[in-house]
C-alpha cells in the first residue's frame, strides 16, 4: 500500500501533478485559459473606459452643444417651410421674395461667409465694390415696388371674386360639369 500511495501521490498530488502537466503539453488548461481571457477582457474594458470616458460637463457646456446642433436642421426645415409657404399662399410668398430682392449684395456675401465658415467650408471672397452693389440694388427698387403693387391688386381681385383666377381650361371644364 505504501508504494501505491507513493506512485499515486507522484502522479496526482503531493505538490506536483505529473499527469496534468503532461496533458497540458498537448491540450490547453481550460481553467487557466478562462482566467487569462477574463484578465484580457478586464484590461481591454479598462482601456476603453479611460479612452472614451466623458468628463462631467456643466450646464453651459451642454447648452452650447445643443445650440451648435440647431443651425443645420433649422436651415433644412426652414427651406422646406419656404416650399410649403409657396404652395399654400403664392401671393404672400411672392411679396416676401420681392422684399428679399432688395437685400444688398454685400449682406448676402456676409451671410454666405458666416454660413460657409460655420460649416467648415472655405469661403473665397469676391473683390467687388460695395458702392456698385448698392447702386444695383437701388436700381431694382422701382421694379420691386411695381411687382408688390401688382401682387396686392391680384390678391384684392381674387378675394372679391374667387371666379377670377385667370384662364384655366381644366377649372372651366370642372365648373361646367358641376353646373350640369
**Backbone dihedral region for residue 149 (phi beyond 0: left; psi -120 to 50: alpha; all else: beta):** alpha
Residue 125 · residue 109 · CB < 8 Å: yes
3-state secondary structure 71-119: HHHHHHHHHHHHHHHHHHCHHHHHHHHHHHCCCCHHHHHHHHHHHHHHC
* Location of C-alpha cell 452693389: 133
Query: Do 167 and 173 contact (CB within 8 A), yes or no?
Result: no
Residue 107's pLDDT is 92
The pLDDT tens digits for 131-170 are 667 777 777 888 888 888 888 888 777 666 655 556 778 8
Band of the pLDDT at 83, cuts 50, 70, 90? very high
Q: Which pLDDT belongs to residue 82?
A: 93
In this prediction, residues 102-107 reach a mean pLDDT of: 90
Residue with the bigger pLDDT between 77 and 71: it is 77
Could you give the CA distance from residue 119 to residue 78 in angstroms, rounded to a whole number? Answer: 17
Q: How confident is the model at residue 123 (pLDDT cuts 50, 70, 90)?
A: very low
Mean pLDDT, the chain, rounded, equals 79
pLDDT tier for residue 110 given thresholds of 50, 70 and 90 = very high
pLDDT in tens, 52-67: 777 778 899 889 888 8
Average pLDDT over residues 81-100: 91
Give the C-alpha separation, 172 to 151, whole Å.
23
94: Cβ–Cβ under 8 A, 6 or more apart, which residues?
A: 147, 151
pLDDT for 125: 42
DSSP symbol at 53: P
pTM (global) more than 0.85: no
The whole-number pLDDT of residue 126 equals: 46
Amino acid at each position: 500500500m505504501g508504494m501505491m500511495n507513493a506512485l499515486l501521490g507522484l502522479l496526482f498530488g503531493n505538490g506536483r501533478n505529473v499527469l496534468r502537466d503532461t496533458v497540458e503539453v498537448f491540450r490547453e488548461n481550460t481553467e487557466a485559459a478562462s482566467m487569462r481571457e477574463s484578465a484580457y477582457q478586464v484590461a481591454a474594458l479598462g482601456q476603453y473606459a479611460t479612452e472614451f470616458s466623458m468628463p462631467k460637463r456643466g450646464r453651459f457646456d451642454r447648452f452650447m452643444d445643443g445650440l451648435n446642433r440647431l443651425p443645420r436642421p433649422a436651415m433644412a426645415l426652414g427651406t422646406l417651410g419656404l416650399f410649403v409657404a409657396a404652395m399654400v399662399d403664392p401671393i404672400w410668398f411672392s411679396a416676401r421674395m420681392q422684399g428679399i430682392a432688395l437685400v444688398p449684395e454685400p449682406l448676402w456675401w456676409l451671410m454666405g461667409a458666416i454660413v460657409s465658415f460655420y460649416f467648415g467650408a472655405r469661403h473665397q471672397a469676391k473683390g467687388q465694390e460695395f458702392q456698385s452693389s448698392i447702386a444695383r440694388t437701388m436700381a431694382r427698387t422701382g421694379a420691386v415696388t411695381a411687382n408688390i403693387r401688382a401682387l396686392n391688386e391680384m390678391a384684392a381681385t381674387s378675394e372679391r371674386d374667387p371666379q377670377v383666377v385667370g384662364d384655366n381650361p381644366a377649372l372651366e371644364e370642372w365648373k361646367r360639369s358641376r353646373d350640369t
